[in-house]
């Protein structure tokens, strides 16, 4: 289903896109903002039926991303115009603060809050709060998404806040930048990323001439028919919906599902139910189910883009550090870095290890502080692999790696073109001294140095065949050449001269004139 087919499938969806175009906002972002608001308008006693286990909450969480990080505020404002229902909004606070929002008031005559929308304009705020010592924020967010019990018991009854399950409706809207989403993706196995819907705040189909504002959506909810226990169960019209839910559950139980899709079916069921409510129905129709699948596909594409951008940003940081070292703008004790890399490889010879334990095994604090940078460099070189599919990250040696001399000690340190380190006696105990560089070394530009490394990489790969970064980097003589290995290989891959398959680099055979 194309975007146009989706947004013209019903009058309500057409109205949402018209509002987005009228106010120069991204249509998919406005749609998710509206769905979040529809959910936040619905009382907590409206729930999904218990096809697997018990009933499920309609609480929705959504993240809005773009390359520049902008656009979330615009889509939020447009959604308010499109769905002008009164909604209590709260900023993000501590994990305990979420429960405090729904604590029944002690004063008589004050209505308790049972529905709220938590807004987070910048994901860095969420990351900062979640990173505090003893923070339970992420755990509470996961419970909140499921409508589970919130709060905790304390020694003092006055400080005890316990909110029963399914007694509240809490939704969340987060503005994010791709490189700052680690607070969400660091808990993949815990299900945090899967509990979010994802939307881009850019729209390639945004018209230059904005149409007139359409009429707001009808915010009246369906006429509910609660059961004996006061709960309204959203119905599933087509029989294929419960069957699909059961099949997905069985696949997860058998270990056949992707780690990032563990909660995808429940999120789709929520989207389908909210779409039904948007269209004034209490039963999910076949069209609602089909449309919910399109929403999930769009969300998954955005989520995958965020993951790819996060990795690209991390590689770029490695590249920038290497270039910065080569230009003398940032000094790093390379010999200490090499020591850390060798220690990591030595420890991993005993077998795979979790990141926390591997860091602790390095011993001295100055080595532990360099762990992240050293591990990232070793992974890029192909010497180790990082597996984030489980709880946390586990590191292991790359298959077939010879660790006898995987990291060559560097006897020279580079501080820019004006000076080079005297390495006449690398094995002596004398402190190395800086000596003036030759005129030829001074005259080499950054571009020329990178091209020189590229030529050397191509020479090695052409004559010796495919090899991992752990084997390739020691063949680049000189510390400066090894510092420029990352940017040089990236350029060769971009230009099509080299390809990376697994942890090995291979020359493609394409002519190189650089």
Domain ranges (residues) in the chain: 3-211+235-306, 444-514
Q: What is the pLDDT of residue 466?
A: 86
pLDDT digits 0-9 by tens, 478-489: 555 667 778 888
Percent share of the chain, pLDDT over 70? 81
pLDDT digits 0-9 by tens, 459-468: 888 888 888 7
Q: What is the pLDDT of residue 437?
A: 40
Distant-in-sequence, close-in-space partners of 177: CB < 8 Å, separation ≥ 6: 65, 66, 68, 69, 123
- Rounded Cα–Cα distance for residues 172 and 435 (Å): 60
CB 338, CB 410: distance < 8 Å? yes
CB atoms within 10 A of CB 342: 18
CB 345, CB 351: distance < 8 Å? no
- Rounded Cα–Cα distance for residues 225 and 457 (Å): 71
Q: At what angle do helices 264-278 and 240-253 cross, to 10 degrees?
A: 160
Average pLDDT, the chain: 81
pLDDT digits 0-9 by tens, 218-254: 999 999 989 999 999 999 999 999 999 888 888 878 8
- Rounded Cα–Cα distance for residues 332 and 451 (Å): 23
- Is the pLDDT score of 330 beyond 50? no
CB 420, CB 414: distance < 8 Å? yes
Q: What is the pLDDT of residue 333?
A: 65
- Is the pLDDT score of 151 beyond 70? yes
More confident residue, 287 or 468: 287
Q: What is the DSSP string of 401-456?
A: ---SSSS---------TTEEE--S-TTSSSPP-EEEPPHHHHH--HHHHHHHHHHH
Q: What is the pLDDT of residue 409?
A: 43
Min mean pLDDT across 43-52, 196-205, 243-252 is at: 243-252
- Is the pLDDT score of 158 beyond 80? no
pLDDT digits 0-9 by tens, 424-442: 344 444 433 333 444 444 3
> Which residue intervals of 64-202 are DSSP H helices?
72-82, 95-101, 123-130, 137-146, 182-185
Q: What is the pLDDT of residue 426?
A: 40
Q: What is the pLDDT of residue 173?
A: 94
Q: What is the pLDDT of residue 463?
A: 84
pLDDT digits 0-9 by tens, 113-130: 999 999 998 888 888 888
- Is the pLDDT score of 411 beyond 50? no
Torsion of CA 391, 353, 499, 514, to 10 degrees: 120
CB 387, CB 376: distance < 8 Å? no
- pLDDT-derived band at 325 (thresholds 50, 70, 90) equals low
Q: Check: CATH 3.40.50.300 for 444-514?
A: no
Q: What is the pLDDT of residue 272?
A: 97
Sign for the pseudo-dihedral over CA of 19, 24, 28, 33: negative
- Is the pLDDT score of 4 beyond 70? yes
pLDDT digits 0-9 by tens, 23-42: 999 999 999 999 999 999 99
Q: What is the pLDDT of residue 258?
A: 60
Token readout for 500 is 């990376």
CB 37, CB 83: distance < 8 Å? yes
| Model pTM score | 0.63
Percent share of the chain, pLDDT over 90? 36
CB 179, CB 210: distance < 8 Å? no
More confident residue, 122 or 423: 122
**Topology of the domain covering 3-211+235-306:** Rossmann fold (3.40.50)
């Amino acid at each position: 289903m194309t975007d146009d087919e989706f947004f013209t499938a019903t009058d309500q969806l057409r109205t949402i896109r018209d509002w987005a175009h009228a106010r120069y906002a991204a249509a998919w972002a406005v749609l998710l903002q509206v769905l979040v608001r529809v959910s936040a308008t619905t009382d907590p006693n409206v729930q999904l039926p218990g096809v697997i286990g018990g009933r499920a909450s309609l609480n929705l969480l959504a993240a809005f991303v773009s390359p520049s990080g902008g656009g979330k505020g615009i889509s939020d404002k447009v959604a308010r115009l499109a769905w002008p229902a009164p909604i209590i909004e709260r900023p993000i606070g501590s994990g305990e603060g979420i429960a405090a929002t729904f604590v029944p008031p002690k004063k008589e005559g004050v209505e308790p809050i049972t529905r709220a929308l938590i807004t987070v304009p910048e994901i860095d705020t969420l990351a900062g709060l979640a990173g505090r010592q003893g923070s339970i924020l992420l755990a509470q967010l996961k419970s909140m998404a499921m409508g589970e019990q919130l709060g905790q018991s304390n020694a003092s009854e006055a400080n005890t806040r316990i909110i029963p399950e399914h007694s509240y409706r809490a939704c969340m809207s987060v503005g994010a930048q791709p490189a700052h989403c680690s607070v969400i993706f660091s808990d993949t196995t815990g299900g945090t990323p899967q509990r979010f819907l994802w939307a881009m705040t850019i729209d390639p189909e945004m018209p230059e001439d904005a149409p007139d504002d359409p009429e707001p959506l009808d915010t009246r909810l369906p006429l509910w028919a609660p059961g004996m226990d006061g709960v309204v169960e959203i119905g599933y019209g087509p029989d294929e919906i419960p069957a699909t839910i059961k099949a997905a559950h069985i696949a997860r139980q058998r270990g056949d599902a992707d780690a990032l899709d563990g909660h995808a079916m429940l999120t789709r069921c929520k989207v389908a139910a909210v779409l039904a409510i948007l269209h004034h129905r209490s039963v999910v129709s076949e069209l609602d189910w089909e449309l919910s699948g399109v929403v999930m596909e769009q969300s998954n594409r955005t989520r995958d883009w965020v993951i790819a951008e996060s990795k690209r940003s991390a590689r770029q940081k490695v590249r920038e550090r290497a270039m910065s070292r080569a230009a003398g703008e940032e000094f790093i004790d390379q010999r200490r870095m090499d020591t850390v890399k060798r220690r990591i490889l030595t420890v991993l010879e005993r077998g795979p290890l979790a990141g926390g334990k591997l860091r602790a095994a390095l011993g001295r604090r100055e080595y532990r502080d360099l762990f992240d940078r050293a591990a990232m460099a070793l992974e890029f070189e192909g010497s180790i692999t990082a597996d984030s599919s489980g709880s946390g990250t586990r590191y292991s040696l790359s298959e077939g790696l010879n660790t006898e001399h995987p990291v060559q000690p560097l006897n020279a340190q580079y501080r820019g073109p004006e000076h080079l380190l005297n390495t006449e006696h690398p094995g002596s105990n004398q402190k190395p001294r800086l000596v003036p560089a030759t005129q030829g070394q001074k005259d080499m530009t950054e571009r020329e140095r990178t091209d020189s490394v590229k030529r050397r990489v191509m020479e090695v790969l052409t004559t010796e065949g495919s090899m991992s970064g752990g084997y390739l980097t020691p063949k680049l003589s000189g510390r400066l050449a090894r510092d420029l290995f990352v940017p040089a290989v990236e350029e060769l891959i971009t230009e099509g001269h080299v390809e990376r398959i697994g942890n090995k680099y291979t020359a493609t055979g394409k002519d190189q004139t650089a």
